[in-house]
Amino acid sequence: MGHKAMSRDPYAALGLKKSATAAEIKAAYRKLVRSSHPDLNPDDAGAEVRFKAASAAYDLLKDPATRARFDAGEIDASGAERPDRKFYRDYAASAEHPYQRTRGFQGQDDPGDIFAEFLRQRGRGGAAPGGEGVAWNDFATRGPDLHFSLEVPFLDAVRGAKTRITLPVGGTLEVQIPPGTEAGQVLRLRGRGGPGQGGGPAGDALIEISLRPHPVFRREGDDIVITLPITFDEAVLGAKVTTPTLAGPVSLTIPKGASSGRVLRLRGRGVVRAGGGAGDQRVELRIVAPRHLDRELQAFFESWRKTHPDDPRRTLFEGMPT
């Protein structure tokens, strides 16, 4: 729904005649903001369409130069609207709302108490008996939570580390990254947010972790996954090779006749779980052709191919269109 009819005539959208003065345009728009802005009228389902039309019209008419060009027919009203715009009210129900300090209902002990608690909250502020007897701690407000985003090197997140973040107001905050921290995890440092008012407690610092990828290690659940290059001869004959792990190099046996894509599992070499135990490291083999193909090797494979016909792609064509 593009709502084109309204945006054709910005004067009509604001309920004005073409002769309207700049002051009348502004006054009409202010009135429409009050009655149609979705954030001032959260109950009104039609507000968004009305407000978008009004603000597109106002954008066209508020600047005398743009208005003159529109009046002269040099520009039209198309393209002034932003169909993709999201309104603040669309986030009102989001679980981690950074601008809401009190959320939902309270009543820890008995769910049936939440209505009584709701009424008590209202009563407290409303009926302060004149002058004396105002309890100051009724004004105690918890401080705001402060939000941080912190990029952590992969290995620091997996193994745990200590780091620090720079606060926007100056100074730094020490952060303990627990072992096994995942991307998107939010660390909460109690009492390290903004100060409270009237003796209220400080808010929390919430730190969302993102990971700087590692060139070798990847993480899948509690497993660490790596791709390990091996040579032709190691694949054919088998070999004992060294693979990196989180805790340092470890010796690994490549079985005879291993193909690319084969996964070997090193038990307990993955991410250490908080409750004890650890994931595995999965090593995916990848056969790498020799960098230099010498005459001897080529001669060998030419004769070998003649005596060992094989087609590993044979089964791919079963039941396929020909």
Partner 1 sequence: MTRYLTQDEVIAALPHLTRPRLLAFIAAEVVVPVASNSGPLFRDIDLARLDLLCDLADPFGLEGDTLALVIALVDRLHASHHQLRMLASALAAEPAEVRARVGASLLAAGRASDR
List the one residue from 97, 120, 124, 273 that touches partner 1 (CB under 8 A).
Answer: 97
183 in contact with partner 1 (CB under 8 A) = yes
Please state the closest distance from residue 194 (CB atom) to partner 1, in A.
Answer: 9
Closest C-alpha among 160, 194, 170, 183 to residue 273: 160
Q: What are phi and psi of 69, to 5 degrees?
A: -65, -35
Q: How many helices (H) and strands (E) does the chain have?
A: 9, 11
139 in contact with partner 1 (CB under 8 A) = no
List the one residue from 168, 170, 171, 276 that touches partner 1 (CB under 8 A).
Answer: 168
Residue 141 amino acid letter:
T
Query: Which range touches partner 1 (CB under 8 A), out of 31-39, 212-220, 234-242, 274-282?
Result: 31-39
Nearer to partner 1, 146 or 235 (CB): 146
Nearer to partner 1, 30 or 286 (CB): 30
87 in contact with partner 1 (CB under 8 A) = yes
List the one residue from 35, 49, 66, 89 that touches partner 1 (CB under 8 A).
Answer: 89
**How many whole angstroms separate alpha carbon 60 and alpha carbon 111?**
53
Q: What is the DSSP letter of 246?
A: T
Binding mask 193-212 for partner 1 (x = CB under 8 A): ---------------x-x--
136 in contact with partner 1 (CB under 8 A) = no
- Coil vs helix vs strand at 288: strand
Q: CA–CA distance from 136 to each of 143, 197, 201 (Å)?
A: 16, 11, 14
78 in contact with partner 1 (CB under 8 A) = no
Residue 1 amino acid letter:
M
User: In the block, which residue shows the tokens 């004149």?
Assistant: 130
List the one residue from 6, 14, 47, 146 that touches partner 1 (CB under 8 A).
Answer: 146
Contacts 24+ apart (CB under 8 A), 71-77: 71/18, 76/8, 77/7, 77/8, 77/9, 77/10
**How many whole angstroms separate alpha carbon 109 and alpha carbon 102?**
18
128 in contact with partner 1 (CB under 8 A) = no
37 in contact with partner 1 (CB under 8 A) = yes
**How many whole angstroms separate alpha carbon 227 and alpha carbon 271?**
17
List the one residue from 2, 104, 112, 129 that touches partner 1 (CB under 8 A).
Answer: 104
Binding mask 38-77 for partner 1 (x = CB under 8 A): -xx-xx-----------x--x-------------------
List the one residue from 166, 197, 253, 259 that touches partner 1 (CB under 8 A).
Answer: 166
106 in contact with partner 1 (CB under 8 A) = no
Give the length of the chain. 322
Contact residues for 192 (Cβ-Cβ < 8 A; gap 6+): 146, 173, 202, 204, 205
List the one residue from 3, 147, 214, 262 that touches partner 1 (CB under 8 A).
Answer: 147
Catalog residues that contact partner 1 under the rule CB under 8 A.
Answer: 26, 29-30, 33, 37, 39-40, 42-43, 55, 58, 82, 85-94, 97-100, 102-105, 144, 146-151, 165-168, 183-184, 208, 210
